[in-house]
Amino acid sequence: MIVKALRVGLGQLIVFGDWISRPAKLKRDPAAQAQVEQQASGLSLYQFHACPFCVKTRRTLHRLNVPVALRDAKNNEQDRQTLLAEGGKIKVPCLRIEEDGKTTWMYESKVIIDYLNKRFAA
């Protein structure tokens, strides 16, 4: 019980730290931003709110100004089951990429961040 309380407290501290130190969004002209939003429409991030690796990934999304649907794999049973059934395991963060009728499940924050930087950095 003490360990769970400590874990929850640390998680909230991580989320608060993220909130107060969030990086500025990348500024694009409206046409370029519309193109990014269209490209990001096929992306979903399966995550836990207070997971430090998920926070790191969300910070990259915020910095790159890429709107991605967030899926709560901890508190939303449907999202959790989708991650398990289609992704193969309950591990976060996981980026679901739907392109050209094909779905790819990308795990590991470093791999996801590298992909986002290559695809959406100015």
User: What is the model's pLDDT at position 10?
Assistant: 78
Structure confidence at residue 5 as a pLDDT band (50, 70, 90): confident
* Mean pLDDT over the full length of the chain: 92
pLDDT for position 94: 98
pLDDT of residue 17: 81
DSSP string, 52-119: HHHHHHHHHHHHHT---EEEETTT-HHHHHHIIIIISS--SSEEEEEETTEEEEEESHHHHHHHHHHH
Q: Where exactly are the structural domains of the chain?
A: 2-22+40-120
Element at 14 (helix H, strand E): helix 2-20
- Architecture per CATH, 2-22+40-120: 3-Layer(aba) Sandwich (3.40)
In this prediction, residue 68 carries a pLDDT of: 97
Report pLDDT for 85.
96
Give 4's pLDDT tier (boundaries 50, 70, 90). confident
> How many Cβ atoms from other residues are within 10 Å of residue 43's Cβ?
22
Range scoring the smallest mean pLDDT among 18-22, 80-84, 88-92, 108-112: 18-22
Give me the mean pLDDT over the 31-60 stretch. 95
pLDDT 10s digits, 12-26: 887 788 788 888 899
Whole-number pLDDT of residue 122:
67
